[in-house]
Structure 1
């Protein structure tokens, strides 16, 4: 970086200081993640032990199957989430998803890449962001899962494909529905544009938040039916984890 460039950046930070994306406190640097110390500390990383299948955080011992997966395992090989869906992570995700604020993308990537869940992923053959229906895509102007895949898996850009998995049917937003209704809502909602490119491949699905896993489950069904060798999933955050308070934060 040239002396002139450094000077311009220093002047920019002086005139337009960065602010915490969680609480708007002024920051001393514009280097991501844009979180103050308090908000950074409040980012609840999901650390081991967690379920080897669905990634649910567990209390004690080594990683092992949770009771739910022992009784009825996911069809996913594994699902991993970096953080609990709590502030400030939930703020960054909502700002991105519902307000079109892309400022937090670099911060989410910087936080996520250092987490245990992220580093527990196996290198995939293909990375598929969970698609939006064309109507929702036009309304929003972007697919947040696609953007998250690009910033979080920048080292695997050549593996990210947006043209294979398609949402063929418009559905009601999942946040309005219960677990059973979520599954019914997504029945046959997804299809493949080029199924021959899936056969024998290890696939990684990427989405913003894992709640019941219904969306990822339906995507995985389509991929496995087309001959995928295995399907794993990664989300930045995990919701629906009741009664667990994590005392961990990610050092970046």
Structure 2
């Protein structure tokens, strides 16, 4: 019997025969903690995974949210990101999880959603997986790249293609400031992505600016298609 990585309580040890015969990992968190997270279910924006049920119909065009329609009206970013698939909403439980994992350096928490990320990645067509990088300054502050940790815990092979320069945290910027900001990424290695479908891994989709900046450079470097897989879909617009 193991302990929940979030609350420390014992995880139900009555697992049956499946973990032994199917080589499944035992649960990393207890049922009570798991139930606090909200999987995205029902209709979602096909471009960013935003739940459509929570939106006013005036902000929906067919199967896309208005925000994603605006992105596609931008000649610079039109068509660079084939889509983002998020697993969970960014509710209070997820906020607490991300804060503990990302900002307090609790690396082992990468295991909590490894199974879901692995399953989702298998369903998204890709040849190469790339994690959104941190700048060297951020990497030294946190001790690890949270996007890379999530990918590695899920068993994904990550290509070291992108690099990031240090800049002000994107979370401090408004939408207009993000759009006006210079691209914070650079491409280190083009040959591994040329004519290939690339899957970007990150923790949160908020406005989509970070993913689209990365996708733009990957497409410019020769990627055939770029889509993203993120743990959570934030409420940013």
Indicate the TM-score class for this superposition, using the shorter chain for normalisation: 0.7 to 0.9
Q: Partner of 2:69 in structure 1?
A: 70
Q: Partner of 1:166 in structure 2?
A: 163
Q: Partner of 2:51 in structure 1?
A: 57
In 2, the alpha carbon distance for the partners of 1:19 and 1:138 equals 28
In 1, the alpha carbon distance for the partners of 2:115 and 2:93 equals 14
In 1, the alpha carbon distance for the partners of 2:86 and 2:117 equals 9
Q: Partner of 1:144 in structure 2?
A: 146
**Which aligned pairs between 1:171-190 and structure 2 lie closer than 5 A?**
171-185=167-181, 187-190=182-185
Aligned length: 212
Indicate the SS of the match to 1:138.
Answer: helix
Deviations 1:67-126 (A, max 9, x none): 333343363101011001113222222111101112322112235456xxx268423111
Contact 1:92 1:108 in 2 (8 A): no
Q: Partner of 1:237 in structure 2?
A: 232
Deviations 1:178-197 (A, max 9, x none): 11222334x23111112233
Contact 2:111 2:150 in 1 (8 A): no
Contact 1:131 1:143 in 2 (8 A): yes
Question: What's the TM-score, normalizing by structure 2?
Answer: 0.79
Residue ranges of structure 2 left out of the alignment (5+ in a row): 14-25, 55-61, 73-77
| Structure 1 segments (4+ residues) deviating >4 Å | 111-114
Residues 1:57 and 1:177: Cα distance change in structure 2 (over 3 Å) = same
Q: How far 1:161 sits from its partner (Å)?
A: 1.0
Residue ranges of structure 1 left out of the alignment (5+ in a row): 1-9, 243-252
Corresponding residue to 1:91 among 83, 88, 96: 96
Alignment pair present for 1:217 and 2:205: no
